[in-house]
Structure 1
């Protein structure tokens, strides 16, 4: 390894080479980082994404695994992004049970990561394990601070698919009641995330016969949007 260069510089060089399409050079720099400092998990993540993008899935899995399980200075495992990327790749490779195991492992280390739990719950729902999905979503929606709107939307979507419309309404209502009052002026990011949640609720009401409630929710979605979004009425 090129010991005269510190890991952050080698990592930056690896990213530059990747952007330039020099994959072999990028791989070399990122591997040098890992040799010098195995706990530098940004290099594991970048290497995993590089290999995945090239279709070298086994190499990508090794990079994600080494980074996810690399002991950090405080003794904790690698960051949640490595676990998420690894699990997402397994889903893409049509290995959902492997992804489920990874989500379960990651959730033991990151029990309050709303995005991780939401993706885990969605996969459980896709696999038809409704009760497990409900349990995961229940954990997610109980987090403090409250999870993002997407978590409520995903949990409600499960109930809609299962025909439990009252349960879906309760989740939609809980999400809106929790998150809309937390919206601050200028918080466009949260506002943009809230629009699909309210829109999904409106569509649910429309499809199940409550046109009046649906119209009110469509209007609310439009009012929440920080930019014009006539699509909410489509």
Structure 2
């Protein structure tokens, strides 16, 4: 298999994973609806940077490290799950609070908050790290060409940031926003419940040593 084919295969596999529903999708869609389109795009950028971090760790041989030190993977699961539960609590607590949405309301600090929240949510999922490492280990040759080492993080960024940009643009449109504002309390509670469920699952599996 040529280096170009390997690159396209990895990008295709990661694209499928990025489009699968999960905490990142829940977070970006909610940010886009409840804050602003610019906030949603900032969150998409955070997801892209998180994907780049995963790709760098995978290229550095994270799979071997996690397999050698199982406690590290379990600790990552507990820490990541705890962070998702914390985000869920914040969403649930603010479910009844009225909001005003609009791009004009997004200052630099708000955009930075959206970016940071998305980035931390992305990197808090240790399962995503394993997915990246597994795909890279399965498809990369023993000797990786230099151009491929530099191209993969760029491709990963395009996949993650590109997909969540689509999510941000879709959910910041007027109709989804109207639906969100009309049922904000229940949508936020549902989002918080989903996020908490994913977090608790990570924590319990980590504590159980699986």
TM-score by length of 2: 0.24
TM-score by length of 1: 0.22
Tell me which structure has the larger Cα radius of gyration.
1
Task: Report the structure, 1 or 2, having the larger helix content.
Answer: 2
